[in-house]
Amino acid sequence: MIQHKDLDDPKTREVIIIGGGIAGLSAAIYLGRAQRDTLVIDSGHSMAKWEPVVENYLGFPKGVGGEKLLRNGRRQAKRYEVRFADDEIKAVSSKKSVFVLEGKRRNYRTNRLLLATGIFHLPPEIPGVKDCLGHSMFFCKDCDGYRVRGKRIAIIGSNNEAVEYALGMLLYSARVIVATNGKKPRWDKRHARWLAEYEIPVERKEIRDVDHRKRKIHALDFVGGNCVKIDYLFTTRGDIFHNQLAKKLGAKLDSDGQIKVDQCMRTSVPRLYAAGCVTPANCQMIIAAGQGAAAAQAINRDLFEESLATHSLQRFREAQLAEEKTVPELSKTNRNKKGRKK
């Protein structure tokens, strides 16, 4: 069977997805199944790798490892002839209707570009807690609040967000403290009132050390000798959005640096799409997967409309008519007039 991509310029892909995390893989599966010539370029740092047991992804009642989800997604996309390149894109430009991508390993060209580059959660500036990431140190109460029910929880932060985090965590546990790690509180009066009203303790001293063994946090040691026993730590230091490529192409960003998209994941730049945590979406795996699918559907539809406008579908049909059987073969029916088998 000939494929329409056989007639295209082999040096220019129909679609390139930068980012092989949850959003990128979901888009890749849809685009592969839509017969689109698709390449996923990935530098291998999906945040999903940090979650040993994802408990809120539909269809896995016992949970599923983030790494496994990524591995399965890649395998699934490969079934539909999606190609993968392990590379990191450092620069991008746009010439006429083609995006030119400069990778660490090589360069690429594509008609449609999907940015699924994700974000990076800044870990707290406390020595030695990196080992506990995803095990007893978390960033997201929607992902991990449920698993820490009834435990001793510290929220690291000194702004309004940290206070709201602590208030939100009360639904999961009665034992919640805020630790500003030596920073002067920047929360406003309203948030200060809430802390007092809900009787949430605040420790303002700098954290000297985090007592942890085998990725399990046991206590926070404060400068001056105070020690608070805890089981889990949440941090609200902020996120870095991987938006440099979008910026370079002139796509609009919001005040946090997230790439602005419409309902179909189109950015403000024609032929450029974005999906997942790099957009203003709530940063959850199932939402990233849904956005990836929505972007893929829009890309597929836009390519279809373009193929009608440029007559490339007509040229493909001419090739089909020349090279393939295009009329279903007729065979004698073995049914009588009433539709029953003879």
Ligand X SMILES: Cc1cc2nc3c(=O)[nH]c(=O)nc-3n(C[C@H](O)[C@H](O)[C@H](O)COP(=O)(O)OP(=O)(O)OC[C@H]3O[C@@H](n4cnc5c(N)ncnc54)[C@H](O)[C@@H]3O)c2cc1C
The strands making up 202-203's β-sheet, listed across from edge to edge, are 137-138, 232-235, 153-156, 176-179, 202-203
Q: Which of 88, 164, 209, 211 binds ligand X (CB under 6 A)?
A: 88
Contacts 24+ apart (CB under 8 A), 254-261: 254/280, 256/280, 259/115
DSSP string, 219-260: EEEETTS-EEE-SEEEE---EEE--HHHHHTT--B-TTSPBP
Q: Which is nearer to ligand X, 106 or 193 (CB)?
A: 106
CA 150 to centroid of chain Cα atoms: 30
Binding of residue 82 to ligand X (CB under 6 A): no
Binding of residue 179 to ligand X (CB under 6 A): no
Residue with smallest beta-carbon separation from ligand X: 21
Residues between 200 and 229 with contacts to ligand X, criterion CB under 6 A: none
Q: Which of 114, 116, 167, 294 binds ligand X (CB under 6 A)?
A: 116
Binding of residue 156 to ligand X (CB under 6 A): no
Closest Cα partner for 281 from 321, 301, 304, 254?
Answer: 254
31, 15 Cβ separation under 8 angstroms: yes
Buried b (16+ CB within 10 A) or exposed e, 278-304: bbebebbbebbbbbbbbbbbbbbebbe
Q: Which of 73, 134, 157, 185 binds ligand X (CB under 6 A)?
A: 134
Binding of residue 48 to ligand X (CB under 6 A): yes
Binding of residue 42 to ligand X (CB under 6 A): yes
Binding of residue 19 to ligand X (CB under 6 A): yes
274, 246 Cβ separation under 8 angstroms: yes
Shortest distance in whole angstroms from residue 267 CB to ligand X: 15
Residues between 248 and 307 with contacts to ligand X, criterion CB under 6 A: 276-277, 283-286, 288
Shortest distance in whole angstroms from residue 106 CB to ligand X: 13
273, 279 Cβ separation under 8 angstroms: no
Q: Which of 4, 13, 15, 21 binds ligand X (CB under 6 A)?
A: 21
Residues sharing a CB contact under 8 Å with residue 333, sequence separation 6 or more, in sequence order: none
Q: Which of 99, 139, 187, 234 binds ligand X (CB under 6 A)?
A: 139
Shortest distance in whole angstroms from residue 240 CB to ligand X: 11
Binding of residue 129 to ligand X (CB under 6 A): no
3-state secondary structure of 112: strand
Q: Which is nearer to ligand X, 126 or 202 (CB)?
A: 126
Binding residues with ligand X: total (CB under 6 A): 39
> CA-CA distance, 130 to 139, in Å (whole number)?
12
Shortest distance in whole angstroms from residue 320 CB to ligand X: 36
Shortest distance in whole angstroms from residue 307 CB to ligand X: 28
Query: What six digits make up the tokens of 255?
Result: 């005040």
Residues between 62 and 81 with contacts to ligand X, criterion CB under 6 A: none
Give backbone dihedrals phi and psi of 207, rounded to 5 degrees, phi first.
-85, 125
Query: What six digits make up the tokens of 145?
Result: 């609040």
Q: Which is nearer to ligand X, 222 or 232 (CB)?
A: 232
Q: Which is nearer to ligand X, 181 or 258 (CB)?
A: 258
Residue ranges that bind ligand X, judged by CB under 6 A = 18-24, 41-48, 50-51, 54, 56, 88-89, 116-118, 121, 133-134, 138-140, 143, 242, 276-277, 283-286, 288
